[in-house]
A and B are shown apart, each in its own frame.
Chain A
Amino acid sequence: MKRLPRLDVTLAAALLSVLLANPAAAETPEEKGLAIAQEADRRDEGYEDSAATMQMILRNRQGEEATREIRSRALEVADDGDKSLIIFDEPKDVEGTALLTWSHKVEDDDRWLYLPALKRVKRIAGNNKSGPFMGSEFAFEDLGSQEVEKYTYQYLRDEACGDQTCFVVERYPVDKNSGYTRQVMWIDQTEYRAQKIEFYDRKKSLLKTLEFKDYAQYLDQYWRPARMDMVNHQTGKSTTLLFRDYRFRNGYSDRDFDQASLKTAR
């Protein structure tokens, strides 16, 4: 599992800093929205790789709860989307199952699943990225690498969020297979961290709200949330992700994120 609110570099840093240093310059809401996304992406650049342990807690309207344990690793890729590896530890029947994702800026991501019972790697069709991840309220596209190019943007307004001030930016998925028509993001102005995202479905109704909580800073630069809460307003179901043991710069390489590595991932 890759950390969520990180966006990749796409434009020259110099150009970015010019744009951002002068927010009062006459720019369209579209330009400003894009600039905010790019700045957030720029600030997360250079983390190289990371690993974390994640607990997923699912709840339904009846009040039932289910918990799943997952380990995740991510590798920064300079001029394409990042690579990530998810290893399922429990339940026991899927122990050792591993999911490899190569995200791409524009094209469909590549995904493979290793099935230990078969000792085989199976490719997962790329166009179905909008489905739920392991029965949770998170879709693949919510969890995957948030490449800047996957959306178009529009800055809406500034707004207080908690004790900070946020940019409120709307973004529209480029991929027509997305489950969403738009998302509204709250990004704080001091550190450019996503604080909240509202997801609107194909009938343009509010479907879900995602909140990021308990951010901590690593390597004096990279902010990661310890908790993410996703609530589905239509079904009353919700999912909480709890992250722990963030580790950066583990020395991973491309060879740790290829199909062969899936079989040995532990």
Chain B
Amino acid sequence: MESTPASGRPLPRHERWIVAYAQWIVRWRWWVLLLSLLCLVALGAGARLLTFSTDYRVYFGPHNPQLLAFDEIQNVYSKNDNILLMFEPRDGDVFSPRVLEAVREFTERAWQLPFVLRVDSITNFQHTQAAGDDLAVEALLPDDAGITPERIAHIREVALAEPVLIGRLISDSGHVTAVNITSQFPPFDELTQKELPEAVAATRALRDDILDEYPEIARISMTGSNMMSNAFTEAAAGDMKSLVPAMYLMIVVITWLMLRSGSATFATFVVIILAAASAMGLAGYVGIQLTPPSAASPQIITTLAVADSIHICVTLIALMRAGRAKTDALVESMRLNFVPVLLTSITTSIGFLAVNLTDSPPLKDLANISAMGVMLAWFYSVFTLPAMLAILPLSVRRTGDSRSGALTRFLDGAGEFVVRRRTPVFWSALLISAGLTVLAFRNEGNDLFAHYFGPSITFRADSDRIAENLTGLYSMEFSLRCGDAECVSDPEYLRVLEDFTAWWREQPEVLYVGTLTDIFKKLNKSMNGDDPAFYRLPEQSDLSAQYLLLYELSLPFGLDLNNTINIDKSSSRYIVIFEHLKSKHTRAIEASARQWLETNAPEMATHGTSPAVMFAHISKRNLESNFLSLPLSLTCISLLLLPALRSWRIGAVSVVPNLLPLGAAFGVWALISGEVNFTMAIVLNMTVGIIVDNTIHFLSKYLRARRELGYAPEAAVRHSFHSVGAALVVTTLILVSGFMILSMSAFLPNSGMARLTAIGIVAALLIDLLLLPTLLLKVDRAPANAPKKELSDEALATP
């Protein structure tokens, strides 16, 4: 990673190969360009195979325990993928003829929506009541019933006293009501990813129809797991549309500012497009499905890829400025940059590849696409870029660049300051970064999936509105087993359910409890002439079983109990809906529910499960797995660097500037936010792969100054500041700009991940410039092996 002017010393063998290779590229430049375009076409064609994943389950690995528990419940009962639509009447009263008519019409037509399994609303709610000596089970507002004042009064009376409806399909004041549509999509492995968008589009069209037809309805908000899955898709697609162009614009501006050459800027831009498009194409061939995290990979590739090209262009331009002919300068730039660019690409890829030990597949996809992109960027930078630079006209003014000169002068001053005040600089840098690292552990994982989306995504606003007025999006389900077949109607079992319900209703966060006992109590009342005194659990086992049989035989298509009772009637599904809770709180309340069961009904003890529970564990699982793979990636990277550093001691020193920025970044995050999402877990490995480059650049300059130029440690530090300081600042600037653009993502976990990475990169720069040199001055006490020399301007060429 050093620019050695060809000063008579024979080139090492690998450099001779590189020179020969560079000359070959220049000679066959048109063919190289053509071949590159063919590569682009062949690889990029895979992009047509890319689809957006439409199921939030993709965030959980196949062995994720919370996912397995959740899938089991869905397989035993029925799916609960749903869309919940909240109707807000203009006059704030659901119980008016037009509003009820709208809900009834919507309910009726919703049965014809794609993939619908059942539709629940206050109008088709199967109300039981005594009819003489018989049991009448009938929709609250039957299809052909007239909406008379008497009927409305009846509906109001029943609905506002019905625990099955309140807090879920109707607010307790009756100012809003909801229709819940349950969907059944094909099994996970048979999904074509077209199902969900189709279902959502059809539901939205029906909503618009109803809104047109019934101006009495002011607004219909939509939430539910299907809308959440859909929001993931829309956020990813939206990001790709808005952020990618912004990213390219930023890259063009920065490259132009740095290179001041239209041709070089254009060539760099082409390389980035080639790398990003080829990587996405490869992702398509591999069969990766895009999610908001993996859809960020083109932006990450772009940010990282630009450095490769800039290194080569900067050296080329500097050499031409120094008077070298273009072809000569190009070959020399290739010789100087080929290995460093390769090394930094490999280390970056290692960081990404380590993410594969993580639990969440979208994060692996992001990391793998980025790793491929980084290696492709290296390939195009040493293949296509020199060919293009050889073809394009390149005019370089012979005047010195005053801007980078000013930056270099500033860094010379900084180097001087660091050497002079080494002790206070060392201790303050060490204490601040160590202090921040301690703070880092105060971050806590908090994944609230409704809050994953920025205000531009309607799912967020709709979910918040529904949470404020009616019911929560966060739920927890239990499959409560009573033992042998047919035992769900056993009074003993029902009493436990009743006690469990009483416990839940004491929890302040709980909005709704869905339990079989409410059905039994109502049945008992209806079977006893609607006498309110009988609104309690039946006391005889055979009686309650026979009530249940009668009730089941009375239910219409789609509104059966298969979603509540399993097939041999040995367990029932128990649902709790609560307010937006933090992940920590969700885990705690799940644990106390389990504790309650273990104390009061040990044979029923089970885990609560739901998307909320799954997401409550996701950041912890991913942080832990990335924490565990971090030493692995760090070891791989260090092993790769050892031959270059040729010193165990310096190798050990290099760990400090590679690791401390992570601690410092998470520490800063604890101060500004304190909450991490699952996507931030990969910041650990990803950032190590990126910031290690700075360390390599700084250390290699330092070691070369010590070993080849015979400098004392102090002079070697000044030399390193002078020769790579500006380059480090500029690369940091590029990376931070790239990640700041990514931080504008409508998918907030991406945004947080990008901001945290940017903080880590800035921290790495500061640590590389303040802590690393002072640490070297402390550790590297060996005398200079040659007399001190003054700094020369050589080596300026390589940033």
User: Which residue in chain B gives the minimum CB-CB distance to A139?
Assistant: B557
- Nearest residue in B to A59 (C-beta to C-beta)? B567
Tell whether, in the assembled complex, residue A124 and residue B117 are in contact, meaning their CB atoms are under 8 Å apart. no
Which residues of A are found within 8 Å of B566, using beta-carbon distances?
Answer: 60, 64, 66
Task: Select one of A58, A127, A234, A235 contacting B568, CB under 8 A.
Answer: A58
- How many angstroms from the CA of A234 to the CA of B190 in the assembled complex? 12
Contact among A62, A95, A203 for B112, CB-based, below 8 A: A203
Residue A111 CB within 8 A of the other chain:
yes
B126's closest neighbor in chain A, by CB? A128
Q: Which of B254-283 contact A (CB under 8 A)?
A: none
If A58-B567, A93-B544, A204-B112 are given as contacts, then 10 extra A-B residue pairs at C-beta distance below 8 Å, sorted by A number, are A93-B541, A94-B542, A94-B546, A117-B542, A122-B135, A131-B560, A134-B549, A139-B557, A203-B112, A235-B117
Binds A, one of B70-78, B310-318, B423-431: B70-78
Contacts of A237 in B (CB 8 A): 562, 567
Asked whether A60 lies within 8 Å of B75 as measured between CB atoms, the reply is yes
Inter-subunit contact A122/B137 (CB<8 Å): no
Instruction: Identify the closest chain A residue to B111 (Cβ).
Output: A202
CB distance from B124 to the nearest CB of A (A): 11
CB-CB under 8 A from A132, the residues of chain B are 552, 555, 560, 562
A60 touches B76 (CB 8 A): yes
Give the CA-CA distance A26 to B566 in the complex, in Å. 52
Instruction: Chain A residues near B12: list those with CB within 8 A.
Output: none
B558 closest partner in A (C-beta): A179
Verify if B589 is at the interface (C-beta below 8 Å from A): no
Q: B126 → chain A, closest Cβ, in Å?
A: 8
Interface string of B483-498 (1 = CB under 8 A from A): 0011001000000000
In the assembled complex, 23 residue pairs joining A and B whose CB atoms fall closer than 8 Å, in A order, are A58-B567, A61-B75, A64-B566, A66-B485, A93-B544, A94-B486, A94-B542, A94-B546, A99-B553, A116-B546, A122-B550, A124-B550, A131-B557, A132-B560, A134-B549, A134-B552, A139-B557, A140-B553, A177-B557, A179-B557, A236-B75, A236-B187, A237-B567
List, in ascending order, chain A residues with CB within 8 A of B543's CB. Answer: 115, 117-118
Given contacts A59-B567, A65-B568, A66-B567, contact A131 B552 (CB under 8 A): yes
* Chain B minimum-CB-distance residue to A127: B556
Closest residue of chain A to B547, judged by CB? A115
Cβ–Cβ < 8 Å partners of B557 in chain A? 130-131, 139, 177-179, 202
Complex-state Cα separation, A116 to B489, whole angstroms: 16
Which chain A residues lie closer than 8 Å to B114 at the CB level? 203, 205
Once A122-B135, A135-B565 are accepted as A-B contacts, the answer to whether A62 and B76 lie under 8 Å apart by CB is: yes
Q: 1/0 contact trace for B63-104 toward A, CB 8 Å? A: 000000000100110110000000000000000000000000
Give the A interface residue count (CB, 8 A).
50
| Residues B561 and A135 in contact, CB atoms below 8 Å apart | yes
Cβ–Cβ contact A123 & B545, under 8 A: no
Query: Among the listed B113, B115, B567, which residue makes an inter-chain contact with A65, where contact means beta carbons less than 8 Å apart?
Result: B567
A123 touches B134 (CB 8 A): yes
Contacts of B550 in A (CB 8 A): 113, 115, 122, 124
Q: Does B554 contact A (CB under 8 A)?
A: yes
A132 (CB) vs chain B CBs: closest residue: B560
Residue of B113, B565, B568 contacting most chain A CB atoms (<10 Å): B568
* Chain B residues, Cβ within 8 Å of A93: 486, 489, 541-542, 544-546
Q: Which residues of A contact B (CB under 8 A)?
A: 58-62, 64-67, 88, 91-95, 97, 99, 111, 113, 115-118, 120, 122-125, 127-135, 139-140, 177-179, 202-205, 234-237
> Given A60-B567, A65-B567, A125-B136, do A94 and B545 touch, yes or no (CB 8 Å)?
yes
Q: Which residues of B contact A115 (CB under 8 A)?
A: 543, 546-547, 550
Instruction: Judge whether B173 is part of the interface by a CB distance below 8 angstroms.
Output: no
CA distance A92 to B549 in the complex (A): 13
Complex contact B112–A91 (CB within 8 A): no
Is A135 within 8 A of B76, CB to CB? Answer: no
B172 at the interface (CB under 8 A from A): no
By a CB distance below 8 angstroms, the chain A residues around B559 are 131
Are B111 and A124 in touch, CB under 8 angstroms?
A: no
Inter-chain contacts of A97 with B (CB < 8 A): 546, 549
Do B569 and A66 have beta carbons less than 8 Å apart? yes
- Are A111 and B553 interface neighbours, CB within 8 A? yes
> Taking the nearest CB of chain A, how far is it from the CB of B791, in angstroms?
73
How near does chain A come to B675, taking the closest CB pair, in angstroms? Answer: 36
Residue of A nearest to B550 (CB): A113
B468 at the interface (CB under 8 A from A): no
Closest chain A CB from B302 CB (angstroms): 43
The 6 closest A-B pairs by CB, nearest first: A66-B568, A179-B557, A130-B557, A93-B545, A91-B486, A62-B75
Residues A113 and B558 in contact, CB atoms below 8 Å apart: no
Query: Quick check: is B653 within 8 A (CB to CB) of the other chain?
Result: no
* A235-B567 in contact given A62-B72, A124-B553 (Cβ < 8 Å): no
Question: Please, which residues of chain B bring their CB within 8 A of the CB of A61?
Answer: 75-76
Chain A: minimal CB distance from B636 (Å): 42
Check A130 against B486 for contact (C-beta < 8 Å). no
With contacts A65-B568, A66-B569 taken as known, whether A125 is within 8 angstroms of B545 at the C-beta atoms is: no
Chain B, range 107-162, C-beta contacts under 8 Å to A: 111-117, 133-138
B592 contacts which chain A residues (CB < 8 A)?
none
Taking a contact as CB atoms under 8 Å apart, the answer to whether A135 and B569 are in contact is: yes
Q: A128-B555, A131-B557, A234-B184 are in contact. Are A122 and B133 (CB under 8 A)?
A: yes
Asked if B75 contacts A113 (CB within 8 A), the reply is no
CB of B421 to closest CB in A, whole Å? 69
B556 CB to nearest chain A CB (Å): 4
Q: Please indicate the chain B residues that have their CB under 8 angstroms from the CB of A134 in the complex.
A: 549, 552-553
User: Which residues on B sit within 8 Å (CB–CB) of A99?
Assistant: 553
Decide yes or no: A128 and B554 within 8 Å by CB, A117-B540, A135-B561 being known contacts.
Answer: yes
B527: chain A residues at CB < 8 Å are 118
Q: Which of B556-584 contact A (CB under 8 A)?
A: 556-562, 565-569
